[in-house]
Amino acid sequence: MSQKGMEIFSGTLRWIMGSIIVTAVMFLVFAGLLWVTGLSEAHVQMYALISCGVGCALCGLGGGRLMGKRGLLWGMAYGVLFLLAFLSALFGMTGGIVFPSILRPGFALCILAAGLAGALGVNLRKE
């Protein structure tokens, strides 16, 4: 593999892992807010979707910065990679208990956010 390919591969892993960490921290923050403030538990799916959306957007931003062009496309691709990695980790941790219930149409919004962040990431790229 060439030097450029290795940089893209390692950058991709860094952005995906960083996005998963940010998403996990957001889940913990929302859990703490639910516990301390008494937020309505009826909106837990919305909190989870917000957390996943932020993780997807962060990963899409990284994809746009790494690739340098076609930010919308690469951002969406990185968003899908993030969701695959995140859902695989969630599936592994829970033994598949939550897997059927988490495939929601709301993930399309997460992928769209990743695409928009990817377009932003191309414009934030340092030359």
pLDDT attached to residue 115: 92
The pTM for the full model equals 0.80
Contact yes or no for 113/57 (Cβ under 8 A): yes
The DSSP string of 30-89 is: HHHHHHHH---GGGHHHHHHHHHHHHHHHHHHHHHHHH-S-HHHHHHHHHHHHHHHHHHH
Phi/psi at 40 (nearest 5 deg)?
Answer: -70, 130
Domain residue ranges in the chain: 42-127
pLDDT attached to residue 95: 65
Contact yes or no for 75/117 (Cβ under 8 A): yes
pLDDT attached to residue 117: 92
pLDDT attached to residue 101: 55
pLDDT attached to residue 31: 86
CA distance 98 to 70: 34
Q: For the chain of 127 residues, list the mean pLDDT of each consecutive stretch of 10.
A: 79 86 89 84 81 89 86 89 82 62 72 90 75
Can you give the length of the chain in residues?
A: 127
